[in-house]
């Protein structure tokens, strides 16, 4: 899947969703600003 | 770079040169902190990240909302109807739902006032088969009622990430929009109609439920985003395994 954007910021990059998004962006060959800009103590996403 | 997502300076520094944002940072359960901590971590962070995005001329953003915005998983409220769809009223009775409601309101406000499109994805439980999905499916096997408030809904993290990219691709066109997401089935081994009859008795069912189909309607996301989950977990593997 191609993306029109070239440089994407991902917050929560170390989390369950964030890390999956990073993988998908890398696969789409998008430059990623992978930031662990997280809320402290948030290991378990959703629901 | 590591830091809280409600830190304006840190977020501004990270935003430099960026043309799109996927905001996943959150405290993802009301059990992880006090109410003020949770509100700051979720709602303040979302405001700081999106407001910074606006100032940096970012045109597209995706935020991680939650099925919990409905009030069902953490509040003691009945489902208005099933399967859930985007028309359902939010019955906010808990701080986590409130934080997600505020997140969506922030996104709607900034998308209306500025040149940024923001899509809010209302995720259910996220996980992978060998961990979260298998664990919850096993729990629902012995106690099916344990999944009632979250509608036994789930989404594989790989499909969750794909959905985020799809949403990013459509954000500018949509302005602000929110979508429920789910795998096409539940994590329960009981048929969906039986789950409703036993654990959501009296709740209107909008259509005939097929087998183990999800109780979250994702047709809006399918239509507008092209959402089509590929990683379907079979809860019967827990039985046989």
Each residue's pLDDT tens digit, B35-52: 999 999 999 999 999 999
pLDDT band, residue B63 (cuts 50/70/90)? very high
Res A31 pLDDT > 90: no
Are the beta carbons of B68 and A47 separated by less than 8 Å? Answer: yes
Q: Are B124 and B181 in contact (CB under 8 A)?
A: yes
Contacts of A21 in chain B (CB under 8 A): 22, 24, 161, 164-165
Each residue's pLDDT tens digit, B200-223: 999 999 999 999 999 999 999 999
The dihedral formed by the CA atoms of B121, B136, B89 and A18, expressed in degrees to the nearest 10? -20
Interface predicted TM-score (ipTM) over 0.90:
yes
Find out whether the peptide bond into B112 is cis, omega within 30 degrees of 0.
Answer: no
Tell me the nearest-neighbour CA distance from B146 into chain A, angstroms: 14
Check residue B36 and report its DSSP letter. Answer: H
Each residue's pLDDT tens digit, B178-198: 999 999 999 999 999 999 999
Are the beta carbons of A7 and B6 separated by less than 8 Å? Answer: no
Sign of CA dihedral A19, B131, B215, A44: negative
Of B1, B17, B68, the CB nearest to A7: B17
Contacts of A9 in chain B (CB under 8 A): 14-15, 18, 20-22, 58
With 0-12 / 13-18 / 19 or more C-beta atoms within 10 angstroms meaning exposed / middle / buried, residue B208 is: exposed
Are the beta carbons of B25 and A9 separated by less than 8 Å? Answer: no
Each residue's pLDDT tens digit, A15-28: 999 999 999 999 98
Taking one residue from A and the other from B, the number of pairs with CB-CB distance under 8 angstroms is 164
Both tokens of A26, joined, read 């890398």
């Amino acid at each position: 899947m191609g993306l029109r954007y070239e440089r994407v910021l991902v917050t929560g990059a170390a989390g369950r969703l964030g890390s999956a998004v990073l993988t998908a962006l890398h696969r789409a060959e998008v430059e990623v600003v992978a930031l662990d800009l997280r809320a402290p103590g948030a290991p378990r996403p959703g629901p | 770079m590591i830091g809280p997502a409600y830190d304006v300076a840190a977020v501004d520094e990270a935003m430099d040169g960026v043309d799109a944002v996927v905001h996943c940072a959150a405290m993802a359960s009301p059990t992880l902190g006090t109410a003020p901590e949770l509100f700051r971590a979720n709602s303040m962070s979302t405001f700081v990240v999106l407001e910074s995005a606006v100032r940096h001329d970012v045109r597209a953003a995706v935020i991680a909302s939650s099925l919990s915005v409905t009030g069902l998983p953490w509040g003691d409220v009945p489902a208005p109807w099933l399967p859930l769809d985007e028309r359902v009223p939010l019955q906010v009775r808990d701080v986590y739902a409130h934080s997600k409601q505020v997140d969506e309101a922030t996104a709607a406000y900034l998308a209306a006032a500025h040149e940024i499109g923001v899509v809010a994805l209302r995720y259910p439980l996220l996980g992978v088969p060998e961990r979260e999905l298998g664990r919850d499916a096993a729990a629902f096997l012995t106690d099916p009622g344990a999944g009632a408030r979250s509608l036994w809904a789930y989404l594989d993290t790989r499909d969750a990430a794909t959905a985020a990219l799809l949403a990013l691709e459509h954000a500018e066109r949509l302005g602000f929009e929110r979508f429920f997401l789910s795998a096409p089935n539940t994590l329960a081994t009981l048929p969906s109609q039986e789950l409703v009859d036993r654990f959501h008795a009296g709740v209107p069912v909008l259509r005939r439920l097929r087998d183990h189909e999800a109780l979250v309607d994702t047709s809006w996301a399918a239509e507008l985003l092209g959402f089509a989950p590929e990683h379907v977990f079979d809860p019967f593997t827990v039985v046989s395994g």
